Amino acid sequence: TLLVFSSDNGGAATLGDNFPLRGYKKTDFEGGVRVPAFVSGGYLSKKRHGTSIGDNGEYFHVTDWYPTLLEAAGIEPAYVKSTRKKV
């Protein structure tokens, strides 16, 4: 089992409270971009248990889920350019 938890970025200015973070949804402040997320479960290798991203100022974007989940499944991500011809 692999459990993935991710949240939407911040509350709206009129509906949410992002305290202690500054800003709201659609702003560049941490209250608009910083959200909790984690991956857990018995499927993860022991070397991944307890590791974290962001302690040194790194960001994790939604597009980072693809290579992260592939790696957790033991698959090497491949980035292949499309051969489809434009019409």
- Which DSSP string corresponds to the chain? --EEEE--S---TTT---TTS---TTSSSHHHH---EEEESTTS-GGGTT--SSTTS----GGGHHHHHHHHTT---------PPP-
What is the average pLDDT score of the chain?
Answer: 79
pLDDT-based confidence at 63, cuts 50/70/90? confident
pTM confidence score? 0.56
Q: Is a pLDDT exceeding 80 seen at residue 58?
A: no
Number of Cβ within a 10 Å radius of residue 18: 21
- Indicate the SS3 state at residue 40: strand
Token pair of 75, please? Answer: 């698959």
